[in-house]
Amino acid sequence: MSDAPVLKAVILAGGRGTRLAPFTTVLPKPLVPVGGVPILETVLRQLSFHGFQETVLAVGYLSSLIRAYLGEAEISRRMRIRYHEEQKPLGTAGPLASVDGFDDDFLFMNGDLLTTLDYAAMMRFHREQNAALSIAVVDRHMQIELGVLGINAASEVVSYTEKPSHSYAASMGIYACSPSIRRYIEPGVPLDVPTLVLRLIAAGEKVVGFRSECFWLDMGNPTDYARATEAFEQNRAAFLRDEVLA
Predicted confidence (pLDDT) per residue in 165-192, tens digit: 888 899 999 999 999 999 999 998 999 9
Cβ contact 67:58 at 8 Å: no
Distance CA 174, CA 221 (A): 19
Which CA distances in Å does 244 have to 82, 87, 110, 116, 163?
27, 39, 25, 14, 43
Q: pTM surpassing 0.85?
A: yes
Average pLDDT for residues 117-136, to the nearest whole number?
97
Alpha-carbon gap, residue 88 to 14, rounded angstroms: 10
Q: What is the mean pLDDT of residues 117-129?
A: 97
Q: Taking all residues of the chain, what is their mean pLDDT, rounded to a whole number?
A: 90
Domain ranges of the chain: 7-138+169-245
Amino acid 201: pLDDT: 97
Q: Which CATH class is domain 7-138+169-245?
A: alpha beta
Q: How many CB atoms lie within 10 A of CB 159?
A: 9
Q: What pLDDT band is residue 119 in, cutting at 50, 70 and 90?
A: very high
Query: How does DSSP assign 161-223, residue by residue?
Result: EES-EEEEEEEEEEEEE-GGGGGGS-TTS---HHHHHHHHHHTT--EEEEE--S-EEE--SHH
pLDDT digits (tens, 9 = 90+) for 65-80: 999 999 989 999 999 9
* Higher pLDDT, residue 146 or 23: 146
